[in-house]
A and B are shown apart, each in its own frame.
Chain A
Amino acid sequence: MTEKFDAIVVGAGPAGSAAAYVMAKAGLSVLQLERGEYPGAKNVQGAILYSDALERIIPEFRDEAPLERHIVEQRVWMLTDKSHIGLDYRSDEFNEEKPDRYSIIRAQFDRWFCTKVKAAGALVICDTVVKALLKDAQGRVIGVKTDREGGDILAGVVILADGVNSTLARDAGYRAELDGDNTALVAKEMHFLRPEVIQNRFNIGEKEGVAFELVGTLTKGKIGMGFIYTNLESISIGIGCMVGDFEKGGLTPYGLLDELKAHPSVKPLLAGSEMKEYSAHLIPEGGYKAIPKVYGDGWMLVGDSAGLVNSIHREGSNMAMTSGQLAAETVIALKKEGKACSTQNLARYKSALDDSYVIKDMKKYQGMPGFLHGNRHVFTLYPELMSQAASTMLRVDGLDKKSKEKQVTKAFREKRGLFGLVGDAIKFARAFR
């Protein structure tokens, strides 16, 4: 292939497809490369889609995209071995004309997104691994080398949307290898049930959905979180911990997932379901401080490749799409001005990213990864204390309420100490600020 493209996008996830779509729609010649046999074949997410980021790229997506259920209720559960204590928020306001979030199935969603990319005029080639970036004598990226015969392809710019592992960015020296203490490993299963069963079980209407986020003693004091999302005729359930925590032993990813499924509060939700797929995926959770340089001479990083994940709010694919869009808009503007995609000119992408919610939100929570690493007890101790407190206060057993209150306070002070409790609160507030 001697043709030179305006841009090559590596990867067909949300970041790559957003970038390729926006550039192709503006009339640029775009090649998108995907290593899977179809877009989405290698992609894993919970998954919740936040509408806003996609709506800014494809305003009519609700009419076309394979969406599962719009989320009307969010539950946060703290689990102990036998109990859960939770906070639910449900509102009929979520039954709006244009809902703000949906459960989705990524392999299907990504396939749809990529048909939009093709329809916009980009060339999409699957079954192709990009092995390396092609550079000229000055170190400028001028294209990619693929695993196909005669597979060197040239372009004005290469956008790396190759996901969390981004070995391309690492091999080119643009990014360090992922660090196990800042990377979560999540194992997930898809459980199928009839739609009516899901609706009855979760107390929801035909298109309505529920999203659960779970923390607690299951992760045995390791930094971790689980989730349950309702789809039209399936339930996505998953749980993960930091790789560095798994490495210390005592817990396997599949063992942890099985424990979650067997939890007395969770098991009835899955009863009678048929498991049809098991997956696992890494999430870059290093936050703001772990973001590498996102651009250079002839290249940009978008989405997970750039570590753009807000783990506190469980946001990632929206940031992926926004970063893809901003990278694309940078290339479009430079093309219009007849300028090259040099380091100096691509700095515009970084400024646009800095001005967006993506970097602003990541900056806000920059202290959170550090807080969690130093305070692993919050994942075990507080669910246990809360559960004990609820049990003590709710049981009617002849003990007066004043004595019960004293018991609860005593338990908190004994387990963590007054200074510990106040310290946790202050440190948490600081990290959250």
Chain B
Amino acid sequence: MSKVEEKLFQNRYLLDEGSPHIRIKNPAVCKTSCAQPCTFCCPAACYVKNEEGGVDLTTDGCLECGTCRLICQSNGNLEWDYPRGGFGISFKFG
């Protein structure tokens, strides 16, 4: 387990299986004209560089902060929404 995974392991999530609330619109854009800041800015490390030079997104550990939406706005390559009502992170302390 990586260090950030150990952190996320403490959190409580209600996962909306099969309907991620954030989606990369066009994976090709990540490969060509982007420094991929999402891979080091996301506090839950949801974005990981893949072997093809692109970015894989897994929203399971998402803290719903909104950082990725901000940094991807110049490329406009993210479809960013809140999880369905009641799903996603449930902070016990916040």
Binding site for B on A (CB under 8 A): 35-38, 40-45, 47, 105-108, 110, 126-129, 146-148, 164-165, 167, 177-180, 183, 185, 187, 189-190, 234, 243, 246-247, 249, 251-254, 258, 275-282
Contact = CB atoms under 8 A, between A and B. Distances in A.
Counting chain A CB atoms within 10 Å of each CB, the highest count among B66, B73, B83 belongs to B66
24 contacts: A35-B83, A37-B14, A37-B86, A37-B90, A40-B91, A41-B89, A44-B94, A47-B94, A108-B93, A126-B86, A146-B85, A177-B73, A180-B70, A185-B65, A185-B67, A243-B41, A252-B40, A275-B10, A277-B93, A279-B11, A279-B91, A280-B65, A281-B63, A282-B70
Nearest to B2: A254
Counting chain B CB atoms within 10 Å of each CB, the highest count among A41, A107, A126, A258 belongs to A41
Counting chain A CB atoms within 10 Å of each CB, the highest count among B3, B8, B41, B92 belongs to B41
A43 B88 CA distance: 13
Interface in B1-60: 3-4, 7-8, 10-11, 14, 35, 37, 40-41, 43-45
Contacts of B10: 275-278
A129 B91 contact: no
Contact of A277 (B11, B67, B69, B83): B11
Main secondary structure of the interface of B (DSSP, over half): loop
B41 A247 contact: yes
B60 to A, nearest CB: 14
Contact of A165 (B4, B66, B91, B93): B66
Nearest to A33: B85
Nearest to B90: A41
Counting chain A CB atoms within 10 Å of each CB, the highest count among B43, B63, B64, B84 belongs to B43
B91 A43 contact: yes
Given A146-B85, A177-B70, A279-B91, 15 more contacts: A35-B86, A36-B90, A42-B88, A187-B43, A243-B41, A243-B67, A243-B71, A249-B37, A253-B41, A254-B43, A276-B92, A279-B63, A280-B43, A280-B44, A280-B67
A328 to B, nearest CB: 24
Contact of B41 (A45, A179, A185, A281): A185
Contacts of A249: 35, 37, 40
Contacts of A41: 89-91, 94
A40 B94 CA distance: 7
B67 A275 contact: no
A180 B66 CA distance: 11
Contacts of A148: 85
Nearest to A234: B93
Contacts of A35: 82-83, 85-86
Closest 7 CB pairs of A and B: A127-B86, A280-B43, A278-B7, A107-B94, A106-B94, A253-B43, A127-B85
Interface of B: 3-4, 7-8, 10-11, 14, 35, 37, 40-41, 43-45, 63-67, 69-71, 73, 80-86, 88-94
Nearest to B88: A42
A78 to B, nearest CB: 25
Contacts of B84: 129, 147
Contacts of A128: 85-86
A106 B94 CA distance: 5
A178 B90 contact: no
Contacts of A180: 70-71
B66 A282 contact: yes
A107 B91 contact: yes
A246 B40 contact: yes
B71 A277 contact: no
A47 B70 CA distance: 24
B45 A254 contact: yes
B84 to A, nearest CB: 6
Contacts of A147: 84-85
Nearest to B44: A280
A243 B70 contact: yes
Given A180-B71, A278-B8, A185 B94 contact: no
A129 B71 contact: no
Contact of B66 (A40, A178, A190, A252): A178
Given A128-B85, A247-B41, A247-B71, A278 B11 contact: yes
Nearest to B73: A177
A177 B86 CA distance: 25
Contacts of A246: 37, 40-41, 67
A386 B67 CA distance: 34
Contacts of B40: 246, 249, 251-252
Contacts of B63: 278-281
